Amino acid sequence: MTNLAPSQSTPPSAQTPAALGAINAELPGADAVDPNATALKELLATYLKPADIDNVAAAYAMACVAHEGQTRNSGDAYITHPLAVATILAKWHLDPQALIAALLHDVVEDTPTTKTDIAKKFGKAVAELVDGVSKLDKLQFATLEEAQAENFRKMLLAMARDVRVILIKLADRLHNMRTLDAVPQAKQERVARETLEIYSPIANRLGLNAVYYEFEDLGLKYLHPHRFSVLEKAVKKARGNRREVVGKILDSIKARLKEFNVDATVTGREKFLSSIYKKMAEKQISFSEVLDIYGFRIIVKDLASCYVALGALHTLYKPFPGKFKDYVAIPKANGYQSLHTTLFGPYGTPVELQIRTADMHKIAEAGVASHWLYKTVDAQNENGTQLSDIHQRTHQWLQSLLELQSESGDALEFLEHIKVDLFPDEVYAFSPKGKIHSLRKGATALDFAYAIHSDVGNRAVAASIDDTNVPLSTRLKNGDRVEIVTDPTGRPNPAWLNYATTGRARSQIRHYLKTTQQAESVELGELLLIQAVGSLNFDPNDIGKTHWNRLFKGDSAKSKEQVLSEIGLGKRLAIVAARKLFAVSDLVSPEHRQRDSITIRGTEDLAVQFAPCCRPIPGDPIIGQVKGGQGLVIHTHDCPAIHPYKFDPEKWIDVQWDPSIDRLFKVDIRVTVSDGRGVLARLAAEIAATDSNISYVNMEDQMAESENRYTTVGFTLEVRHRLHLASLMRQLRHMPEVVRMSRVKSGSAKDQQRH
Both 649 and 673 in one domain: the answer is no
Q: At what angle do helices 124-132 and 96-103 cross, to 10 degrees?
A: 50
Q: Are residues 625 and 683 in the same domain?
A: no
Amino acid 190 reads: R
Whether 188 shows a pLDDT value over 80: the answer reads: yes
How many structural domains comprise the chain? 4
CA distances, 349 to each of 131, 298, 646 (Å): 51, 18, 76
CA distance 82 to 64: 10
Predicted local confidence at residue 146, as pLDDT:
62
Residue 291 is predicted with a pLDDT of: 61
How far from chain centre, in Å, is Cα 349?
A: 38
Residue 590, pLDDT above cutoff 80: no
Give pLDDT, residue 725.
93
Q: Are residues 314 and 343 in the same domain?
A: yes
* 613 and 647, same domain (yes or no): yes
**pLDDT number for residue 221:** 94
Kindly state whether residue 296 falls inside one of the protein's structural domains: yes
**Alpha-carbon distance 349 to 391, whole Å?**
39
Task: Determine the 3-state secondary structure of 449 from DSSP.
Answer: helix
- Which backbone phi and psi does 153 adopt, to 5 degrees? -60, -45
The mean pLDDT of 154-168, rounded to a whole number, is: 70
pLDDT band at 97 (very low <50, low <70, confident <90, very high): very high
Q: Please indicate, yes or no, if residue 456 is contained in any of the structural domains.
A: no
Predicted confidence at residue 602, as pLDDT, reads 63
Confidence (pLDDT) at 20: 32
Cα–Cα distance between 188 and 176 in angstroms, integer? 10
Q: Tell me the C-alpha distance between 644 and 13, whole Å.
A: 76
Amino acid 404: pLDDT: 53
652-657 and 598-600: which strand pairing?
parallel
Judged against a pLDDT cut of 90, whether residue 86 lies above it is answered with: yes
653 and 674 belong to one structural domain: no
Higher per-residue confidence, 410 vs 479: 479
> So what's the pLDDT on residue 13?
35
Of 569, 560, 565, which is closest to residue 540 (Cα–Cα)? 560
| 611 and 681 part of one domain | no
Residue 49 lies in a domain: yes
Three-state SS at 656: strand
Confidence (pLDDT) at 189: 92
By the 10 Å C-beta count (0-12 exposed, 13-18 middle, 19+ buried), 181 is classed as: exposed
The confidence score (pLDDT) of residue 729 equals 92
Last residue of a domain, one of 104, 134, 164: 134
Q: Best-predicted range by mean pLDDT among 60-74, 283-297, 339-353? A: 60-74
In contact, 460 and 486? CB cutoff 8 Å: yes
CB 680: neighbour CB atoms within 10 A? 17
Rounded-to-integer distance, Cα 99 and Cα 172, Å = 12
pLDDT at 119: 92
The CATH number of the domain holding residue 23 is 1.10.3210.10
Q: In the predicted model, what is the mean pLDDT of residues 294-311?
A: 91
The pLDDT tens digits of the residues spanning 493-540 come to 777 888 888 877 888 888 777 777 677 778 778 888 887 887 778 888
Percentage of the chain exceeding pLDDT 90: 20
pLDDT classification of 1: cutoffs 50, 70, 90 = very low
Asked whether residue 120 is assigned to any structural domain, the reply reads yes
Q: What does the pLDDT read at residue 707? A: 54
**pLDDT at residue 87 in the model:** 93
Residue 452 inside a domain? The answer is no
Is 670 found in the same domain as 548? no
Most confident of 206-220, 359-373, 532-546: 206-220
User: What CATH number is given to the structural domain containing 671?
Assistant: 3.30.70.260
Domain that holds residue 551: 511-657
Residues 573 and 705 in one domain: no
pLDDT at 21: 34
CB 389 within 8 A of CB 330: no
Q: Has residue 173 been placed in a domain?
A: no
Answer whether residue 196 is part of any domain.
Answer: no
**690 has pLDDT over 70:** yes
Considering 2-16, 335-349, 597-611, the range whose residues carry the highest mean pLDDT is: 335-349
Q: Does 564 share its domain with 653?
A: yes
Q: Which of 425, 360, 412, 401 shows the shortest CA–CA distance to 166? A: 401
So what's the pLDDT on residue 439?
80
Q: How confident is the model at residue 355, as a pLDDT? A: 94
Interval 235-278: pLDDT, tens: 887 776 667 777 888 899 999 999 999 999 998 877 788 888 88
Confidence of residue 310 (pLDDT cuts 50, 70, 90): very high
Residue 196 near residue 214, CB atoms below 8 Å = no
The answer on 732 and 629 residing in a single domain is no
Work out the mean pLDDT of the chain and round it to a whole number. Answer: 77
For the entire predicted model, the pTM comes to 0.53
648 and 699 share one domain: no
Of 118, 134, 150, the position where a domain reaches its end is: 134
The answer to the question of residue 639 being in a domain is yes
Give the active site residues.
109-110
| CATH number for the domain harbouring residue 328 | 3.30.460.10
Angstrom distance (rounded) from CA 251 to CA 752: 69
Return the bridge partners of 719, or none: 665
Is-contact 293 265, C-beta < 8 A?
no
β-pairing, 468-470 vs 460-465, is antiparallel
Residues 652 and 679 in one domain: no
Domain's final residue, options 640, 657, 674: 657
Higher pLDDT, residue 86 or 627: 86
Nearest residue to 606 via CA among 521, 691, 680: 521
Dihedral angle at the C-alpha atoms of 241, 247, 253, 258, nearest 10 degrees?
A: -170
Mean pLDDT for 297-323 is: 91
Confidence at residue 395, expressed as pLDDT on a 0 to 100 scale:
55
